[in-house]
Amino acid sequence: MTTVTARNRRGEIVEVESFSATEAKNSFGEVLDRAIAKGIVVITRRDKPRAVMLSIEEYEALTPRLEDSLESLRGDFDALVERMQTGEAKAAGRALFVTSPRRLGRAARAAARRP
């Protein structure tokens, strides 16, 4: 067992215990006990971090952030779809399919010039 650096749930870089993949396989109970006690252990292969084992408390501390981010993105996506349902947006979408490449190019250049 050695130590490596990893990020904790607050995003801080900390030193954590690490086990080689062979050690983890042969002494799984010890690795599990350390993960429960310390919150996280790193599994290495050829001295490079390859996986982590988290205690359930660490896992649950990280999970809500992921769900919150996903919910936020879902709300943004739903609002975007809602804006695309207007008559004006639908007409603009149809116009894209009948507009010449030259006209699309001019519109793109004009849009790029806008601040």
pLDDT in tens, 45-70: 999 999 999 999 998 888 776 667 77
CA angle at 42 for the pair 41 and 44, rounded to the nearest 5°:
150
For residue 51, the model assigns a pLDDT of 95
Domain ranges of the chain: 2-58, 69-113
pLDDT band of residue 28 (cuts 50, 70, 90) is: very high
For residue 45, the model assigns a pLDDT of 95
For residue 6, the model assigns a pLDDT of 85
Topology of domain 2-58, per CATH? YefM-like fold (3.40.1620)
